[in-house]
Structure 1
C-alpha cells in the first residue's frame, strides 16, 4: 500500500487512466470486428452497397484509432500498423 499522500493520489490517477485506456482499446476491438465481419459478407456478396458499408466501417475504425493516438492510448506506429493491415484486408 502507498505510504505517502502523493503515492495515494498517483495510484488513483493510474486507476483512472487504466479505465480510460481499456475503454478506448475495447472500442477499437469492437470496431475492427464489425469491419472484418462486413468484409466477410462482402466476399460472399459482391455488390456496391456492401463495398460502401465496408469503406464506412473502415473510416470509423480509422477515426477511433486516431482518437486513441491523440489521447496517447496507442503509439502512432502501432496505429499506422493497424491501419495498414486493415486496409490490406479489403484489397
Structure 2
C-alpha cells in the first residue's frame, strides 16, 4: 500500500486510467466483432458500411495508444480483405 499522499494519489489515478483503458480496449474488440458479424451475414453493402463506421473507432483507439497502430492496421486489413472476398 502507498505510504505518501503522492503515492496514494498516483494509485487512485492509475486505477481510474486502467479502468478507462480497459473500456477502450473492450470497445476495440466490440468494433471488430460488429464487422465480423456483418461479414457473416453475407451482404457486402451492409458489411462495408459497418466497416466504415467501425474503422473510425479502431483508429481513434490506436491513436490513443491503447492498442498498437500496427495491430489496428492488421485488423482493418483483414476485415477489408474479408469484405472484398464477399
Query: Which band: TM-score by shorter chain?
Result: 0.7 to 0.9
CA distance in structure 2 between the partners assigned to 1:14 and 1:89 by the alignment: 38
Report the equivalent of 1:55.
48
Give the number of equivalent residue pairs: 84
Q: Is the 8 A contact 2:31 2:58 kept in 1?
A: no
Cα RMSD (Å): 1.4
Unpaired runs of 5+ residues, structure 1, are 43-49
Normalising by structure 2, report the TM-score.
0.84
Q: Is the 8 A contact 2:34 2:50 kept in 1?
A: yes
Stretches of 4+ aligned residues off by more than 6 angstroms: none
Report the equivalent of 1:4.
4
Q: CA deviation at 1:55?
A: 0.6
Unpaired runs of 5+ residues, structure 2, are none
Higher relative contact order (CA 8 A, sep 6+): 2
1:38 partnered with 2:38? yes
